[in-house]
Amino acid sequence: MPASPDPVSAAPSRPSRIQRRNRKRILEAALEVFSQHGYRGTTLDQIADGAGLSKPNILYYFAGKEEIHVTLLNDLMDAWLAPMRAIDPGGEPLDEILRYVHRKIEMSRALPRESRLFANEILQGAPRMGPHLETGLKPLVDDTAALIAGWIAEGRLARVDPLHLIFSIWATTQHYADFDAQVQVLTEGGDDYDGAHAFLDTLYRRLLAP
C-alpha cells in the first residue's frame, strides 16, 4: 500500500526522532525566509538551504510550500496572543495594561521574525489566516475590549476607545520589530528597546491614568 508514503498523512502515532528534528529544522529555516521575503518571495530552495536538506526531502515532511507557511502561522498564533491572554481581569487596570505593553515590547525584541511573519501576512490581506483572525483573535480582542470598557465605566481608567487603544498598543510595540530597518537608520544602529519601554510606559500612563 504505497498510497501514503510520507508522514504528512500518516496515522497520529508518535513521530520519530528524525521526524521531529527535521520538521523543526524546516520550520526554523522557513520562519527565517518567510519573515524576510513574504510568502511568494520565498522559495523552497531557500528553505531547503537553510534547513540543510534537499528540496524533495522538505516535501517528504510537508505536503507543499503552503503547508509549511500555514503550520508556522498556526504554531505561532498561541504564543502571539499569550500577552493579551495574560491580562488579569482582577488586577489593577493601569498596571495590567502597562504590563501588557511591556510584554509586547519584549516580544518584539525576542521574536522579531515572528512579528514580521504576521505583519507580512496581514499586509497582504491575511489570505492564509482569515479564519484564524475570526476564531482566534476576534473573540479574545472582544473580551479584552469589554474588560477595558468595564474598567473605564468603573472610573479606574481614563475614557478612551478600548479597541483603538488595543490597535495603538499593537502598532507602537510591533513597530520596533516590523520596521526595524527604518528604526536602525534613525537610531544609528543603537538598540533602543530600553528607550521604547520608557517612552511607551509614559505614553500609556498619561493616556490612561484615571
Q: Name which of a copy of itself, DNA, none residue 195 binds, using a CB cut-off of 5 to 8 Å depending on partner kind.
A: a copy of itself
Q: Please, what is the minimum distance in Å from the beta carbon of residue 169 to DNA? A: 35
Calpha distance 165→207 (Å, rounded): 10
CB closer to DNA, 60 vs 193: 60
> Judged by CB under 8 A, does residue 144 bind a copy of itself?
no
Q: Name which of DNA, a copy of itself, none residue 179 binds, using a CB cut-off of 5 to 8 Å depending on partner kind.
A: a copy of itself
> Judged by CB under 8 A, does residue 176 bind a copy of itself?
yes
Cβ atoms of residues 92 and 210 within 8 Å? no
> Judged by CB under 8 A, does residue 17 bind a copy of itself?
no
- φ/ψ (deg, to 5) at 10: -75, 170
Among the residue ranges 36-44, 70-78, 109-117, 163-171, the one whose residues contact DNA (CB under 7 A):
36-44
> Judged by CB under 8 A, does residue 108 bind a copy of itself?
no
**Residue of 142, 138, 7, 8 lying closest to 70 (CA atoms):** 8
Cβ-based burial of 121 (10 A; exposed 0-12, middle 13-18, buried ≥19): buried
Residues sharing a CB contact under 8 Å with residue 55, sequence separation 6 or more, in sequence order = 44, 45, 48
> Judged by CB under 8 A, does residue 158 bind a copy of itself?
yes
CB closer to DNA, 45 vs 92: 45
